[in-house]
Amino acid sequence: MSAWLEGKVIDYDKANVHIMTHSLQYGSGIFEGIRVYDTVNGPAIFRLGDHMRRFLNSAKIYSMKLNYGIEELQEACIELVRANGLSSGYIRPFAFYHDTRIGVSTEGKGVSVFIAVLPFGDYFGDKHASGVACKISSWQRINSEILPVEAKASGNYLNSIIASNEARSVGFDEAILTSGNGYVAEGPGENIFLVKNGRLVTPGVSADILMGVTRDSIIKIAKGAGIEVEERAVHKEELLTADEVFFAGTAAEITHIRKVESVVLNGGAVGPITKMLAQKYGDAARGRDEKFMDWLTFV
């Protein structure tokens, strides 16, 4: 396997950094997750431009001075997929402070950019098809008074890790975090949707969520299919009375939630709207829907 580090394609195993690197000590990196899908026209990167724009926005928020613009970063991803000969997989761009000095300040510390491309299957393994059981976490989602939630930053995911660990320690597959005001926010690495009376409902920006690229894709697909979409505050108990609930994210794709706390939803089976949206999302990502071909960057 090959990786991209500071403008060069190198052997994956040689893409090393010092153990005292600032971002390893303090979680000061930023990253993205991007899927590559196998299509009838060859490998295609899903919404590459949108992911890279968010990557650069994360850098702006943390005042990280990257030496590469969006075109260079996109070309690096394309080059790396070709170099590894993958028809599908997962791209991980990562920017980090490579300085080894002790101290939290990033002033005067240099930034490196790394990109990896790896084979990648279902994030939840065999639970992707059968659905996941979720615990509403006792840990709240971070908010913008604490950390900038719109940055996809490494340190933010400590919040995700502790919530996910809590859920798994008591027999659940994943957590659902709430915002500081008690409304539903998101999963540790996924946005969340629920279906009620034929309408699609998802927490809005005020819930301190990361504005996911997959989330945006689902909203656009649903509206195109004539489904009413509400972006609003969601009470916890709405999850328990919903007809369907599902996660959406680059890694998780569309994964239905069969159980929230002790409540089994739709008899544990994937609901009709979740199933339809998963099919349409898969069609869009794999080049089977002409309406969304502009979401694909062919390699």
Task: Name beta bridge partners: 11.
Answer: 2
Residue 129 has pLDDT above 90, yes or no: no
Query: Which residues are within 8 A (CB) of 262 and not within 5 positions of it... i.e. 6 or more apart?
Result: none
pLDDT at 137: 98
Percent over 90 (pLDDT), the chain: 96
Per-residue pLDDT, averaged over 128-133, amounts to 92
CA dist 252 and 150 (Å) reads 19
**Helices of type H across the chain:** 22-26, 48-61, 70-84, 127-130, 157-169, 213-224, 236-241, 272-285
CA dist 164 and 172 (Å) reads 9
Residue 247 has pLDDT above 90, yes or no: yes
3-class SS string, 170-197: CCCCEEEEECCCCCEEECCCCEEEEEEC
Q: Where are the domains of the chain?
A: 2-118, 127-285
Percent over 70 (pLDDT), the chain: 100
Q: What are phi and psi of 41, to 5 degrees?
A: -105, 15
pLDDT digits (tens, 9 = 90+) for 83-110: 999 999 999 999 999 999 999 999 999 9
pLDDT digits (tens, 9 = 90+) for 157-186: 999 999 999 999 999 999 999 998 899 999
pLDDT digits (tens, 9 = 90+) for 14-23: 999 999 999 9
CA dist 229 and 122 (Å) reads 27
Cβ–Cβ < 8 Å for 96, 112: yes
Parallel, antiparallel or unpaired: strands 296-298 and 42-46: antiparallel
Cβ–Cβ < 8 Å for 163, 137: yes
Residue 152 appears among annotated catalytic residues: yes
* Domain over 2-118 is classified CATH 3.30.470.10: yes
Q: Treating both helix axes as pointing N-terminal to C-terminal, what angle do 213-224 and 48-61 enclose, rounded to 10 degrees? A: 140
> Which residues in 164-199 are b (16+ Cβ under 10 Å) and which e?
beebeeeebbbbbbbbeeebbbbbbbbbbbbbeeee
Residue 170, both tokens: 């008591």
pLDDT digits (tens, 9 = 90+) for 22-72: 999 999 999 999 999 999 999 999 999 999 999 999 999 999 999 999 999
pLDDT at 180: 85
Task: Name beta bridge partners: 153.
Answer: 30
Q: What are the distances in angstroms from CA 197 to CA 93, 194, 242, 279, 299?
A: 39, 10, 8, 20, 41
- In this prediction the pTM is 0.95
* Domain 127-285, second-level architecture: Alpha-Beta Barrel (3.20)
Q: From the candidates 152, 259, 275, 280, which is the catalytic residue?
A: 152
pLDDT at 126: 86
pLDDT digits (tens, 9 = 90+) for 248-279: 999 999 999 999 999 999 999 999 999 999 99
pLDDT digits (tens, 9 = 90+) for 110-128: 999 999 999 999 999 988 8
Secondary structure (3-state) at 280: helix
